[in-house]
Amino acid sequence: MSFKRLLEQHQGIALIDQDGSEMTYNQLCLKTDQINEELDQVNNNPLLIFILCQQNIATVLAITAVMRSHHVAFLIPETVDNSMLSKLIDIYLPNIIYHTDDTSQNIENLVNKPVALHPDLCFLLSTSGSTGTPKQVKISNSNLYENAKSIASYLEISKKDRAITSLPLSYSYGLSVLTSHLYAGASVLVSSASIMTRSFWQQIEQYQITGLTGVPYIYEIYKKLKLTDRELPSLKTLTQAGGKLAPELVTYFAEYAAKTSRRFFIMYGQTEATARMSYLPSDQVLKNPQSIGFEIPGGRFELIDNENKLITEANKEGELTYKGPNVMMGYANNRDDLASDEKLGSLHTGDLAYRDKEGRYYITGRKSRFIKVSGLRINLSDVEKFLLERGFDSACTGQDDALVIMIKSKDDPSEKVKHILHECLHIYPGLIHVKNTSSFPYNENGKKDYMKIYQQVTGELNNG
């Protein structure tokens, strides 16, 4: 089974535009067929397409068209920095750029040279949110289908459900909200409204949205906006992913869900697994607020110790690895990487975890150097590289929602550094801490001592 055939079998409303106009599954298939006919006219070969994604119908149609075709799309947020986009164009040489503005002319022809694309390849998704490296995750048609199927199954998404596109469609979690609802024959309100606006909350009521989603900082906003005091009669399900939610917020929303007979799911995943690897069932969240739950249907976790041996006993920490039909085809760093499938089998998450006696998993730390800032996964080594290219010798560390940077420099470059990180990598300056130094602290192995660096920049101990 594939999305191409499945969508043809669904009936009823698939998409709703924020102006209220509805599109049935039948119309969605016809519209995406039209787009694919246009794409096929570009040249006869499968195309590599850059879709500049916005939160609008044109973007959803372009994405769905690609899901139903042999073309491959690189999903790029429309807000991408121009220099970053030209760099990606130079590296990947896309055949066309698909614009999603409200114009009749969407297709911009770019490179005529055919590209060798693996027949199963469907999307290229950014792994680090915004770190701006050319490294992309290769997602196959079956990755996409299996991931959507699994999510639709454990969330019990039905035809009656209706989602809203509050997460970017170019982000694996946002994309999975779309695909899991299309899988189930449910409907999706395609909205560009920010959750900080009155129109967003009006849309929730007017279009009877049944599910809300969010990364941790969105849940802080939900709390600040007193989501729990709102009526929202249509709302049935809340899901959270994209990083660890503070335990007090987990409890806060779990209590709200229990009191109002709603469901609140904690979920865990990575773009490398298309989106999802585990979920904590709604009725277990209050008792286990720290857990990432159980594997999603079709997936399996394993814990590996330092000697690369399988950990079988409970409550012992190791690296979390994942096997499942949604594990990516591998990474791509350039156009030449698009022909292959690495058949990874299992995915090393880079997260350290343990399992309790009932089989629930708990993340205890990170093996590799990633933090999440405003829901964006930031590779600290990439930030160091990025800054070095711009003349700053830096040491980057931090914890979720605090990027901590030490710069080797005589004068204080804080404002400059915050500015370029904001401009190019879209990291909110209020979450960046910068200090200059004459020399970095090193540990006995001659490596930068990131713990000391964290302390010296922030004046605090890193408990993260």
Partner 1 sequence: MTQTKVNNIQRLKKVFSQSLSISESQINDELEYNSIQQWDSTAHMALVAQLEAEFNIMLDIDDIIDMSSVGKCKEILKKYNVEL
State which of positions 281-340 bind partner 1 (CB under 8 A): none
Question: Residue 225: left if φ>0, alpha if ψ -120 to 50, beta else—which one?
Answer: alpha
Distance (Å, whole) CA 4 – CA 163: 21
Of 21-29, 125-133, 149-157, 215-223, the window that binds partner 1 (rule: CB under 8 A) is: 215-223
State which of positions 398-457 bind partner 1 (CB under 8 A): 418-419, 422, 426, 428-431
The helix (run of H) or strand (run of E) holding residue 252 is helix 247-259
Work out which of 196, 314, 339, 451 binds partner 1, going by CB under 8 A.
196
State which of positions 73-132 bind partner 1 (CB under 8 A): 79
Q: Do residues 311 and 305 make contact, with C-beta atoms less than 8 angstroms apart?
A: yes
Judged by CB under 8 A, does residue 206 bind partner 1? no
Distance (Å, whole) CA 181 – CA 190: 12
Nearer to partner 1, 220 or 255 (CB): 220
Partners of residue 348 on adjacent β-strands:
321
Judged by CB under 8 A, does residue 231 bind partner 1? no
**Stretch 341-380: interaction string toward partner 1, x if CB under 8 A:** ---------------------------------x------
Distance (Å, whole) CA 133 – CA 203: 35
Nearer to partner 1, 377 or 418 (CB): 418
Q: How many CB atoms lie within 10 A of CB 206?
A: 13
Q: Do residues 154 and 449 make contact, with C-beta atoms less than 8 angstroms apart?
A: no
Of 64-72, 120-128, 195-203, 286-294, the window that binds partner 1 (rule: CB under 8 A) is: 195-203
Helix/strand/coil for 352:
strand
Nearer to partner 1, 19 or 229 (CB): 229
Nearer to partner 1, 11 or 202 (CB): 202
Of 217-225, 238-246, 291-299, 382-390, the window that binds partner 1 (rule: CB under 8 A) is: 217-225
Q: Do residues 184 and 157 make contact, with C-beta atoms less than 8 angstroms apart?
A: yes
Nearer to partner 1, 195 or 352 (CB): 195
Residues 6+ apart with CB under 8 A from 80: 52, 88
Nearer to partner 1, 218 or 267 (CB): 218
Judged by CB under 8 A, does residue 256 bind partner 1? no
Dihedral of alpha carbons 53, 57, 60, 63, sign: negative
- Minimum distance between the CB of residue 427 and partner 1, rounded to whole angstroms? 10
Work out which of 5, 103, 224, 389 binds partner 1, going by CB under 8 A.
224
Q: Do residues 301 and 274 make contact, with C-beta atoms less than 8 angstroms apart?
A: no
- Minimum distance between the CB of residue 53 and partner 1, rounded to whole angstroms? 15
Nearest Cα neighbor of 256 from 226, 281, 218, 292 is 226
State which of positions 14-43 bind partner 1 (CB under 8 A): none
- Minimum distance between the CB of residue 2 and partner 1, rounded to whole angstroms? 36
Nearer to partner 1, 200 or 450 (CB): 200
Of 15-23, 50-58, 193-201, 308-316, the window that binds partner 1 (rule: CB under 8 A) is: 193-201
Distance (Å, whole) CA 293 – CA 58: 36
Partners of residue 263 on adjacent β-strands:
237
Nearer to partner 1, 119 or 430 (CB): 430
- Give how many residues touch partner 1 by CB under 8 A: 25
Residues 6+ apart with CB under 8 A from 447: none
- Minimum distance between the CB of residue 355 and partner 1, rounded to whole angstroms? 34
| Sheet of 187-190, strand order | 22-24, 13-17, 187-190, 162-164
Question: Residue 110: left if φ>0, alpha if ψ -120 to 50, beta else—which one?
Answer: alpha
Nearer to partner 1, 290 or 399 (CB): 399
- Minimum distance between the CB of residue 217 and partner 1, rounded to whole angstroms? 6
Work out which of 3, 145, 217, 440 binds partner 1, going by CB under 8 A.
217
Nearer to partner 1, 248 or 356 (CB): 248
Work out which of 86, 158, 194, 206 binds partner 1, going by CB under 8 A.
194
- Minimum distance between the CB of residue 360 and partner 1, rounded to whole angstroms? 31
- Minimum distance between the CB of residue 205 and partner 1, rounded to whole angstroms? 13
Work out which of 197, 333, 334, 364 binds partner 1, going by CB under 8 A.
197
The residue whose two tokens read 């030490």 is 406
C-alpha distances (whole Å) from 129 to each of 134, 263, 283, 423, 436 are 11, 28, 31, 14, 27
Residues 6+ apart with CB under 8 A from 415: none
Nearer to partner 1, 225 or 286 (CB): 225
Helix/strand/coil for 417:
helix
Give residues in contact with partner 1 (CB under 8 A). 79, 194-198, 200-201, 217-218, 220-221, 224-226, 229, 374, 418-419, 422, 426, 428-431
